[in-house]
């Protein structure tokens, strides 16, 4: 009977770092989450009354508001563990963008104020009211007020993806519908959809815990999860 060999942590890190095939090789894209720093775009929860006239509750202002549902997306809270599958979220996020529905990588366009006013008057009124009455800024509404910047996640709305968060260790979940927004963590869209569950299992395995240490050795990891860590 051959003796059982136990590898040291450093040996495991060395062997994994020498694997030539990377997640980047099989991915169509790896990207960061959305920036939620804009004061004009609100994190929402569903109204307790579930009333059609005020379906959402603004978390920051602690008041019920009404918005067009087409501009509201489910929002994943990375503070909760989401291994393999997402826990149902009560949070939403308003996003005044037009998302094209076709293709793996969608086109996205920030709606200008006049177009927002004509097509989505409730959302326009909400943002304008916030600017005038809470920011005490009487200037006309500008699209720069509610832009989230160059966010690659918007190009993959409604595209199936893996969402990886750094919850003490890597935790990966599969978003089959692809319509969830997230702030912290990274999204992964694969070239071959049949590989999603294999990659999901690998990212949730104990071996993935060495990713950050390999990237620390390569000076790619600064303490927070980023696409460079996963591409490695």
> What radius of gyration, in Å, describes the C-alpha atoms of the chain?
21
CA atoms of 193 and 91, how far apart (whole Å) = 28
pLDDT at 1 over 70: no
Q: Apex CA 33: angle with CA 67 and CA 76, to 5°?
A: 60
Largest CA distance in the chain: 81
In which band, very low, low, confident or very high, does the pLDDT at 43 lie, cut at 50, 70 and 90? confident
Burial of 77 (0-12, 13-18, 19+ CB in 10 A): middle
Q: How would you label 134-155 residue by residue, b for 16+ Cβ within 10 Å and e otherwise?
A: eeeeeeebeeebbbbeebbbbb
Helix (H) or strand (E) holding 171, with range, is strand 169-175
Given a cut of 70, is residue 34 above it in pLDDT? yes
Cα dihedral sign, 121-127-133-138:
negative
- pLDDT of 6 above 60: no
Count of CB atoms situated within 10 Å of the CB of 121: 11
Residue 66 or residue 85, greater confidence? 66
Residue 23: the pLDDT is 86
H/E stretch holding 14 reads helix 9-17
Question: Looking at per-residue confidence, does 201 or 49 come out higher?
Answer: 201
CA distance 70 to 59: 19
Q: How confident is the model at residue 223 (pLDDT cuts 50, 70, 90)?
A: low
What local confidence, expressed as pLDDT, does residue 111 receive? Answer: 96
pLDDT at 210 over 70: no
pLDDT band at 220 (very low <50, low <70, confident <90, very high): low
Averaged pLDDT, 8-25: 62
pLDDT of residue 70: 92
Split at pLDDT 50, 70, 90, the class of 217 is: low
**Block residue for tokens 């920051």:** 60
Phi and psi, residue 192, nearest 5°? -110, 110
Digit-coded pLDDT (tens) for 101-129: 777 888 889 999 999 999 999 999 999 99
Beta bridge partners of 189: 29
Residue bearing the bigger pLDDT, 229 or 202: 202
- E strand or H helix that includes residue 214: helix 211-217
CA 145 to chain centroid: 21
């Amino acid at each position: 009977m051959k003796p059982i060999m136990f590898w040291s942590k450093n040996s495991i890190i060395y062997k994994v770092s020498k694997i030539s095939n990377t997640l980047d090789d099989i991915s169509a894209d790896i990207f960061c989450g959305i920036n939620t720093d804009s004061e004009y775009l609100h994190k929402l929860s569903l109204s307790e009354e579930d009333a059609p006239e005020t379906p959402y509750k603004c978390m920051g202002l602690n008041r019920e508001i009404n918005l067009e549902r087409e501009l509201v997306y489910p929002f994943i809270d990375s503070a909760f563990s989401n291994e393999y599958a997402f826990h149902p979220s009560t949070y939403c996020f308003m996003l005044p963008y037009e998302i094209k529905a076709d293709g793996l990588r969608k086109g996205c366009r920030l709606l200008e104020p006049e177009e927002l006013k004509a097509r989505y008057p409730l959302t326009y009124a909400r943002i304008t009211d916030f600017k005038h009455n809470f920011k005490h800024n009487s200037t006309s509404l500008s699209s720069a007020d509610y832009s989230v910047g160059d966010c690659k996640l918007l190009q993959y709305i409604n595209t199936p993806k893996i969402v990886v968060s750094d919850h003490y260790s890597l935790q990966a979940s599969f978003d089959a519908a692809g319509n969830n927004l997230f702030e912290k963590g990274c999204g992964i869209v694969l070239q071959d959809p049949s590989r999603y569950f294999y990659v999901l299992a690998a990212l949730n395995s104990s071996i993935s815990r060495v990713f950050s240490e390999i990237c620390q050795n390569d000076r790619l990891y600064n303490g927070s999860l980023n696409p460079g860590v996963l591409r490695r």
